[in-house]
Amino acid sequence: MKQHSPQSISLQKLLVLHSDYVNDLQRRSPETRGTYERTLREFMRWVRLEPELECSAKEIERYKKFLLTKRKLAPVSVTMYLSSVRKFFDYLVSVGVLVNNPAKLVKGGAPNQRHSRKSISVLEVQALIQAIERKDEIGFRDFAVVKMMITCGLSEIELIRADIGDLKNKKGVMSVALQLKGMKSKDMITSLPNETKDAIKGYLTFRTNAKETEPLFMSAGNRTRGQRMTSRGIRERINFYLEKAGVKNGEVRKITALSLRLTAIRTMAQQGASVDEIRNKFHIVKELTVKRYLQNN
Residues whose CB is less than 8 angstroms from the CB of residue 207 and which lie 6 or more positions away in sequence, other chains included: 164, 214, 218
Provide the Cα torsion 4, 10, 11, 16; round to 10°: -90
Question: For the chain, first and last CA: distance in Å?
Answer: 37
Task: Indicate if 122-295 has the same CATH topology as 7-110.
Answer: no
Whole-number pLDDT of residue 112: 46
The arrangement of secondary structure in 122-295, i.e. its CATH architecture, is Orthogonal Bundle (1.10)
Whole-number pLDDT of residue 113: 45
Contact 134, 140 (CB under 8 A): yes
Q: In what order do the strands lie in the sheet with 167-170?
A: 167-170, 173-178, 188-191
**What is the C-alpha separation between 32 and 160, in angstroms, rounded?**
12
Regions of the chain where pLDDT drops below 70: 1-6, 29, 31-32, 50-52, 109-116, 250-253, 293-297
- Give domain limits for the chain: 7-110, 122-295
Tell me the pLDDT tens digit for each residue of 199-242: 999 999 999 899 999 999 999 877 777 889 998 899 999 999 99
Nearest Cα neighbor of 190 from 277, 283, 271, 275 is 283
Whole-number pLDDT of residue 51: 64
Hey, CA dihedral for 85, 91, 92, 98, is it positive or negative?
positive
Residues whose CB is less than 8 angstroms from the CB of residue 128 and which lie 6 or more positions away in sequence, other chains included: 120, 146, 241, 242, 245, 247
CATH entry 1.10.260.40 includes domain 7-110: no
Report phi then psi at 57, rounded to 5: -60, -35
Beta-bridge partner residues of 178: 188
Whole-number pLDDT of residue 253: 66
